[in-house]
Chain A
Amino acid sequence: MELIVSLAIAVLTGSGVWLLLRPRTFQVIIGLALLSYAVNLFIFSTGRLKIGAAAILEKGQIGAPQAFADPVPQALVLTAIVISFATTALFLVVLLASRGLTGNDHVDGRDPE
């Protein structure tokens, strides 16, 4: 499972960085979205990968922390998803405004000759 998760993060990051460096605004926004997916998976994996473990302790029990999933990265990833979603939406609005004002979709507002 570790291999699958790390491959997924690697592929998403690689595609994200490549798209981020492209000259078209749409490619940049898709690159940023892919990067934020990669980071969300990455944060999730910092809580160690566990299958079938509860994130909270049973009521009235002390319990061994090793037997439970770490709830903190799950809370963090939730916050990160919300924030990256909101900022991507905002970036989309600016992208459209830029397309309307400059008449093309190059990140510099004009195509190089």
Chain B
Amino acid sequence: MTSWTDHLIILPILLPLFIGAAMLLIDERHQQIKAFANLGSIVLMGIIALLLMRAADTPTVTGAAPIAVYRLGDWPAPFAIVLVADRLSALMLALTSLLAFAATVFATAGWQRLGAHFHSLVQFLLMGLNGAFLTGDLFNLFVFFELLLAASYGLVLHGSGPARVRAGLQYIAVNLTASVLFLIGVSLIYAVTGTLNIADLAIRIPQVAAQDRALLEAGAAVLGVAFLVKAGMWPLCFWLPTTYAAAAAPVAAIFAIMSKVGIYILLRLSLLFFGADSGASAMFGANWLIAAGIATILFGLIGALASQEISRLAGYAVLVSSGTVLAVAAAAGQPAVTAAALFYLVNSTLAIAAFFMLIELLERGRDPGADMLAVTREAYGEDMPDDPDAEEVGLVIPASMAILGWCFVGCAAVIAGLPPVSGFIAKFAMLTALLGDDAAAGISPLSWTLLALLMLSGLTMLIAMTRAGIRTLWSPTERADPRVRLAEIVPIALLLLGCVAMTVQPQPALSYMQGAANSLHAPSAYTDSVLAPTPSRIKTGGGS
């Protein structure tokens, strides 16, 4: 193990900070330089994430998966800040950089000019996301959450216009309230346990005295509500479809990962704090998560059927995806179910992000979308003198409607979970794991409910997507083919290719997820690695 690899863990946080800050100094007219810097930084982050994934997937001499721990300032763990990279966080880093890459390439075709500092805001958002995935400290989690939210406030308003400002206002109000709940939850947990280090908390929570337990559980519940707001759980999700539909297309595509941050944290913390062998509070809140997840799926399905605009349909698809992961993962008694849920999470995030960008291309040339774009151009046009000329550059691809139609079919198949694409494999894996859960004792009513719900969600999403597709692609209108540039179709194709790769080679992906789920369900490996008293800074174990 060389010394520079030790510091790989902190790079996904430092890199976007410096690149984003440096880009603030470049004049807004030099969008190409900014786009180049942004893309370069994202590619580097992707490479780092892949290196971390490989390091986390290389078994140690003892056979356990290595968990890389980075102690800032080399202070011992419970007293200072740590960053932790295991399989799941490395996977989320890779997913984030893939989505950000696609969205940024898409934005270079025109969206980057519609407002100030698009590329810097993307970098700051990535810093917050990466930090939230890597941190091993509850209060730092709050700081990174605020960081990604602050950047997202800027991004949701990107392009301006009344619809975005109205949606942005409500989005900010909801998230500021959620941050207040976050702080209340964190401080209640601190008041009871006296620590904020996640690994230390996992050890201390089973030892909490009986009279303090109510306070601890209240704190955990308040904290959970804060994450559920981010994850878009019913009834805390009414802001989500409006905001995502109003946001600019590349922004909505990056936001597809933001609802998954809440899910990631919930998955990690609930299994660490209230896992099966955590004493008196074991499985605290699991039933609530299952019930709320089911309600979210139902609400998302009804919303998807009722939505008139495709962009709202995509927003409800985010809700269905969130609800499915939460309900299935919370119902998971064992790692196989969690692994399948993770596979579904990655898969649906890719498809939904591609769908958000595709919608913008389909809606182009239709009236409402064109209105919106015209208004925003008007609001910003005077500030950007090179806008009209720049609109004409770039390769315009022929037969755009046919290509867009195929992309739509791909997105619909993955989101609805039709065979043979990866959405089907994800659902099949979840169902197999759920049914195999307790084969000896018969199948529990909960598994039957989830099974029925997964089937129903597939059917409903298929109906909703088909209807939207017929209305958009087959309706006889006089409009000409939308002008689609190569930089707009490539990112969509890239994300869909990710789904295709998971279809063709599901085994390596599933076995990686299985490893991630195994280590999630075995909190002792996490706590041992973080709190290890060894003087060495890093314990990756692999790659010597």
Interface residues of chain A, those whose CB is within 8 Å of chain B, are 20, 25, 28, 32, 35-36, 39, 42-43, 46, 72-73, 76, 79-80, 83-84, 86-88, 90-91, 94-95, 97-98, 101-102, 107-109
- B153-206 contacts to A (CB < 8 Å): 153, 157, 160-162, 165-166, 168-170, 172-173, 176-177, 179-180, 183-184, 186-188, 190-191, 196
Q: Which 8 A-B pairs have the closest CB atoms?
A: A46-B191, A109-B166, A43-B187, A46-B187, A101-B162, A39-B183, A98-B165, A83-B146
Q: List 10 A-B contacts (CB under 8 A).
A: A32-B173, A36-B180, A43-B187, A80-B183, A87-B146, A87-B172, A90-B153, A91-B172, A108-B166, A109-B165
Roughly how many angstroms separate A83 CA and B143 CA in the complex, as a whole number? 8
Chain B residue contacts of A88, Cβ below 8 A: 176
B139 in contact (CB, < 8 A): yes
Chain A residue contacts of B170, Cβ below 8 A: 107
Chain A residue with minimal CB distance to B183? Answer: A39
Question: B149, B160, B170, B187 — which one has the most chain A CB atoms within 10 A of its CB?
Answer: B187
A42 touches B184 (CB 8 A): yes
Chain A residue contacts of B150, Cβ below 8 A: 86-87, 90
Chain B residue contacts of A97, Cβ below 8 A: 157, 160, 165
Given A20-B177, A28-B173, A98-B165: A79 touches B187 (CB 8 Å cut-off):
no
B172 touches A72 (CB 8 A): no
Roughly how many angstroms separate A76 CA and B81 CA in the complex, as a whole number? 13
Count contacts on B: residues with CB < 8 A to the other chain.
29
Given A28-B173, A35-B180, A72-B196: A94 touches B139 (CB 8 Å cut-off):
no
Q: A32 touches which one: B146, B166, B177 (CB < 8 A)?
A: B177
Roughly how many angstroms separate A107 CA and B172 CA in the complex, as a whole number? 12
Roughly how many angstroms separate A28 CA and B173 CA in the complex, as a whole number? 8
Chain A residue contacts of B190, Cβ below 8 A: 46, 72-73, 76
Roughly how many angstroms separate A107 CA and B177 CA in the complex, as a whole number? 15
Chain B residue contacts of A73, Cβ below 8 A: 187, 190
Chain A residue contacts of B188, Cβ below 8 A: 46
Chain A residue contacts of B187, Cβ below 8 A: 39, 42-43, 46, 73, 76
B169 touches A39 (CB 8 A): no
B169 touches A32 (CB 8 A): no
Chain A residue with minimal CB distance to B153? Answer: A90
Chain B residue contacts of A94, Cβ below 8 A: 153, 157, 165, 168-169, 172
Chain B residue contacts of A39, Cβ below 8 A: 180, 183-184, 187
CB distance from B416 to the nearest CB of A (A): 33
Chain A residue contacts of B183, Cβ below 8 A: 39, 42-43, 80
CB distance from A42 to the nearest CB of B (A): 6
Chain A residue contacts of B168, Cβ below 8 A: 94
A91 touches B176 (CB 8 A): yes
Roughly how many angstroms separate A84 CA and B149 CA in the complex, as a whole number? 12
- Provide the main secondary structure of the chain A interface: helix
B143 touches A91 (CB 8 A): no
Roughly how many angstroms separate A88 CA and B146 CA in the complex, as a whole number? 12
Roughly how many angstroms separate A107 CA and B188 CA in the complex, as a whole number? 32
Roughly how many angstroms separate A88 CA and B187 CA in the complex, as a whole number? 21
CB distance from B146 to the nearest CB of A (A): 5
Q: A102 touches which one: B166, B173, B186 (CB < 8 A)?
A: B166
- B423-479 contacts to A (CB < 8 Å): none
Chain B residue contacts of A90, Cβ below 8 A: 150, 153, 172
A109 touches B162 (CB 8 A): yes
Roughly how many angstroms separate A3 CA and B187 CA in the complex, as a whole number? 19
Chain B residue with minimal CB distance to A40? Answer: B183
Chain A residue contacts of B139, Cβ below 8 A: 76, 79
Chain B residue contacts of A95, Cβ below 8 A: 169
Roughly how many angstroms separate A6 CA and B165 CA in the complex, as a whole number? 37
Chain B residue with minimal CB distance to A100? Answer: B165
Chain B residue with minimal CB distance to A33? Answer: B176
Roughly how many angstroms separate A95 CA and B153 CA in the complex, as a whole number? 12
Question: A46, A72, A95 — which one has the most chain B CB atoms within 10 A of its CB?
Answer: A46
CB distance from B512 to the nearest CB of A (A): 35
B173 touches A91 (CB 8 A): yes
- Give per-residue flags for B99-138: 1 if the beta carbon is below 8 A from chain A beta carbons, else 0: 0000000000000000000000000000000000000000
Chain A residue contacts of B180, Cβ below 8 A: 32, 35-36, 39
CB distance from A1 to the nearest CB of B (A): 17
Chain B residue with minimal CB distance to A110? Answer: B166
CB distance from B394 to the nearest CB of A (A): 31
Chain A residue contacts of B196, Cβ below 8 A: 72
